[in-house]
Amino acid sequence: MSWITARRRHPAAGYAVVLLGLIAIGIVYAAFTAPGSPASAAAPAAARQDIAEGQALFARTCATCHGMNAQGTSAGPSLIGVGAAAVDFQVSTGRMPAAEIGAEMDRKPPRFGAKQTHELAAYIASLGGGPAIPAPEQVAAAGANVALGQQLFITNCAQCHNFVGAGGALTYGKYAPPLTASTPTQIYEAMLTGPEAMPLFNDSTITPSEKRDIAAYVTETRAEPNPGGFSLGRVGPVTEGIVVWLGGIGLLVASAWWIAAKRREQA
Amino acid sequence: MSETGEYPDDLQHGSGGLAEAEDQAGQTRAPHRVIGTPSPAEAHILLATEHPDAAPPVPRELPADPPDLVKAKRAERVVATLFILAMLSGFAFIASYVGFPVHTVDRVLRSNLALGTSLTLSLLFLGAGTVIWVRQLMPDVELTEQRKPLASPENDRQAFAQTFKEGADASQFIKRPVLRRTLIAATVPLGLAPVLLLRDMGPLPRTSLRHTAWRKGTRLVISGTNRPLRPADFDSPGGMITVIPEGYQDNDVELAKAATIIIKFAPGQLQPPTVMNWTVDNIVAYSKICTHVGCPVALYEQTTHHILCPCHQSTFDATKGATVLFGPASRPLPQLPITTDAAGYLVAQSDYHEPVGPSFWERG
């Protein structure tokens, strides 16, 4: 202790105490933050760098609608507290930046790569709270309980997204998008953040492992074979009915016509 | 008169070169019988018998050959090709039945596809061939056929009536009313038995349509995982989840009535006629059974707070007691009174206060 006592009035002592305190806070924060979180203090310098890059990117491409400080404007909602998962979902599916404001934001090729998306997510996450981007092992299909995933999907998702994730219509031009191109991470993030009209399913209602099961069901269903070659969108009786009525019955009527038609007079 | 048993020359229509060639070829062969036609031997005898008193042959009603023999030959080839294809498809059907293994979903899909395709093609080729045969090769003439009267001659009818009456007398059916009546009585219960089967359409629903499995203190558990929920677990506004009464996860009959959705709102969003005493912490519970025809109504838009029915697009306003905004439903979704129990979990305060689901006659 005499070592500390002797140096406590040293000009650098104050700085040393502040530094020690910051390191301690950093370690505690790292211990309490989920691994894989982009805002993790494990690499504080890199994270700060990401946040700064993300902020610059945000100011250039997002601030017109969402405000310079992501506080929201009449054209776009506040992004404070939406979390990294919401940003990753919107940007990686190409919905944001939006080309135009419509009833529903369409999925399109993403404008930003993985690094820029990550930086934007880090910036928004740094504004406070919100769910983090799920780690790859949180969405891995291996070991997922697909049967439970199906049960939960049919109960909570299928009424809008159709039982194989083919999507469906909502009110006033809105629609539940098809899940045919969604990655497991995007499915997980959508459940967690509830983009647009979609209700959200937090981790205490549908647990992370159950979310993984649901994502595994959606991806596994895509691989189901269509031996006849005509899936008809897999949306069930509506398209099948149209095909039967227009195609099948049309064919029968044409056949009946052909069978009963009067033969042309021989020349 | 032809020795091969063909129709007499003078009755042959369309004296093309083809028919003559066939006649000449036929001379070298023994007479043979074509399937489904009268025996050529008989025909030979009948036609070869030179009876001096024989009536002159009746002129043909139908032409024996189509007018355009070249076209007929082409049609014949088409029809024969279709019949061969039908035969091959038929064999393919048998081969598919034998060859395609089943017992897994994928294999059954493939087996069904092969069976369906081959049988469809077989019947299609057979039908198409038949229709072309009829249209291109068979004559298209209208015939009037004179019929004999349908009624039997008067003598036969009188004889039959007499036999019937004698039989009735001889059987003693008329003379002995006791026998007749007891016989009829014996068949009455057998005749009534089918009426009794209607009873198996019951039992009558009585009051079961007015009640669900929800009771005071029944916990709301998440459908699928059967986990109870605390209000703190369901704390994200915009959240929605399907819940069922605890302990009924395997009771489909009760679940068909008791399925419920709970929705979390931000403070101040819920308005009358939502019964605020029946909500917990801005969590409201509505029946998931549409009041129109009972579809599971759970398309929830968290931006507009509309609940949609996927079957007929009935739209309910979740912030205002699920009142009907649009569509064929005529009543709001019933609201389930909820509260929390001592352990802090969401429970029902009671059953629904009105019948859930579609209307029924006695609902009132």
What's the one-letter identity of residue B353? H
d(CA A144, CA A252): 47
Domain assignment present for residue A47? The answer is yes
Domain-terminating residue out of A83, A111, A133: A133
**What is the DSSP pairing of strand B220-222 with strand B346-348?**
unpaired
Per residue in A60-94, pLDDT tens? 888 888 888 888 888 888 888 788 888 888 888 88
Domain-terminating residue out of A89, A115, A133: A133
**So what's the pLDDT on residue B2?**
39
To 5 degrees, how large is the angle CA B352–CA B353–CA B354?
A: 95
- What DSSP state is assigned to residue A107? P
- pLDDT of A133 strictly over 80: yes
Domain assignment present for residue A18? The answer is no
**Which residues does chain A have within 8 Å of residue B298's beta carbon, measured at their own beta carbons?**
156, 159
Tell me which residue of B229, B247, B264, B242 sits closest to B344, measured CA to CA: B229
Residue carrying the six token digits 């997980």? A188
Widest Cα–Cα separation across chain B: 118
Record the tokens describing residue A74, joined without a space: 């009449």
Counting DSSP H helices and E strands in chain A, the numbers are 12, 2
- Per CB distance under 8 Å, which residues of B are interface residues toward A? 67-68, 106, 109-110, 112-113, 127, 131, 135, 140, 222-225, 229, 232-236, 238-242, 263, 296, 298-304, 306, 308, 310, 315
Q: How many CB pairs under 8 A join A and B?
A: 93
Record the tokens describing residue B162, joined without a space: 């007499």
Residue B352's Cβ-side half-sphere holds a number of Cα atoms within 13 Å equal to: 24
Residue A254's Cβ-side half-sphere holds a number of Cα atoms within 13 Å equal to: 8
Counting DSSP H helices and E strands in chain B, the numbers are 7, 10
Q: Which residues contact B8 (CB under 8 A, 6 or more apart)?
A: B1, B2, B47, B57
- Computed from CA positions of residues B10, B12, B16, B21, in that sequence, does the dihedral angle turn out positive or negative? negative
- Computed from CA positions of residues B251, B255, B256, B257, in that sequence, does the dihedral angle turn out positive or negative? positive
Residue of chain A whose Cα is closest to the Cα of B311: A159
Which candidate in B104, B236, B324 is best for mutational testing of the A interface (most A CBs within 10 A)?
B236
Question: Element (H or E) spanning B316, and its range?
Answer: strand B315-317
d(CA B136, CA B149): 35
d(CA A125, CA B191): 80
**Which residues does chain B have within 8 Å of residue A153's beta carbon, measured at their own beta carbons?**
none
Residue ranges of chain B whose pLDDT lies below 70 = 1-33, 38-54, 364
Domain assignment present for residue A237? The answer is no
CB atoms within 10 A of CB B318: 24
**So what's the pLDDT on residue A267?**
47
d(CA A197, CA B305): 9
Domain assignment present for residue A210? The answer is yes
Q: Which residues contact B36 (CB under 8 A, 6 or more apart)?
A: none
Lowest-confidence segment of A95-99, A144-148, B166-170, B242-246 by average pLDDT: A95-99
**So what's the pLDDT on residue B51?**
60
From residue B214, how far is each of B265, B287, B330, B334, B337 by CA, in Å? 23, 11, 24, 13, 10
A250: exposed, middle or buried (Cβ count in 10 Å: 0-12, 13-18, 19+): exposed
Record the tokens describing residue A220, joined without a space: 């596994």
Which candidate in B243, B290, B301 is best for mutational testing of the A interface (most A CBs within 10 A)?
B301
Q: Are residues A183 and A170 in the same domain?
A: yes
Q: At what angle do helices B105-136 and B69-99 cross, to 10 degrees?
A: 160
Average pLDDT of chain A, as a whole number: 81
- pLDDT of A99 strictly over 90: no
From residue A46, how far is each of A49, A55, A133, A157, B81 by CA, in Å? 5, 14, 17, 38, 76
- Per CB distance under 8 Å, which residues of A are interface residues toward B? 148, 151-152, 155-156, 159-160, 168, 170-172, 174, 176, 194, 196-202, 204-207, 210, 225, 227-228, 255, 258-259, 262-263, 266
Domain assignment present for residue A263? The answer is no
Domain of residue A108: give its range.
24-133
Domain containing residue A108: CATH number:
1.10.760.10
B211: exposed, middle or buried (Cβ count in 10 Å: 0-12, 13-18, 19+): middle
Lowest-confidence segment of A119-123, A144-148, B37-41, B115-119 by average pLDDT: B37-41
Tell me which residue of B304, B303, B331, B305 sits closest to B318, measured CA to CA: B305
Would you call A198 and B68 a contact, using CB atoms and an 8 Å cutoff? no
B100 three-class SS? coil
**So what's the pLDDT on residue B88?**
97
Residue of chain B whose Cα is closest to the Cα of A153: B224
Q: Is the omega angle on the peptide bond into residue A97 within 30 degrees of 0, that is, cis? A: yes
**Which residues does chain A have within 8 Å of residue B263's beta carbon, measured at their own beta carbons?**
199
d(CA B43, nearest CA chain A) in Å:
33
How many residues are present in chain A? 267
Q: Are residues A159 and A206 in the same domain?
A: yes
**What is the DSSP pairing of strand B338-340 with strand B240-245?**
unpaired
Phi, psi angles (nearest 5°) of residue B323: -70, 155
**So what's the pLDDT on residue B349?**
92
Would you call A258 and B239 a contact, using CB atoms and an 8 Å cutoff? no
B139 three-class SS? coil
Per residue in A195-244, pLDDT tens? 888 888 888 888 888 889 999 999 888 887 777 777 777 777 778 888 88
A129 three-class SS? coil
**Secondary-structure breakdown of chain B: helix, strand, coil percentages, each rounded to the nearest 5:** 40, 10, 45
Complex ipTM: 0.70
d(CA B220, CA A96): 38
Would you call A171 and B306 a contact, using CB atoms and an 8 Å cutoff? yes
To 5 degrees, how large is the angle CA B203–CA B206–CA B212?
A: 110
**So what's the pLDDT on residue A263?**
65
Tell me which residue of A130, A38, A114 sits closest to A80, measured CA to CA: A130
Would you call B242 and A155 a contact, using CB atoms and an 8 Å cutoff? yes
Phi-psi region of B14 (alpha: psi -120 to 50; beta: other; left: phi over 0): left
From residue B344, how far is each of A203, B17, B106, B147, B349 by CA, in Å? 18, 102, 47, 92, 14
CATH topology of domain B209-363: Rieske Iron-sulfur Protein (2.102.10)
**What is the DSSP pairing of strand B315-317 with strand A175-176?**
unpaired
- Region A135-142: mean pLDDT is 82
- What DSSP state is assigned to residue A138? G
Residue of chain A whose Cα is closest to the Cα of B263: A199
d(CA B4, nearest CA chain A) in Å:
31
Q: Which residues contact B85 (CB under 8 A, 6 or more apart)?
A: B121, B125
d(CA A171, nearest CA chain B) in Å:
8
What are the structural domain ranges in chain B?
A: 69-136, 209-363
d(CA B275, nearest CA chain A) in Å:
22
- pLDDT of A253 strictly over 90: yes
Number of domains, chain A: 2
B150: exposed, middle or buried (Cβ count in 10 Å: 0-12, 13-18, 19+): exposed
**So what's the pLDDT on residue B166?**
94
Assign A39 a pLDDT band (cuts: 50, 70, 90). very low
**So what's the pLDDT on residue B10?**
44
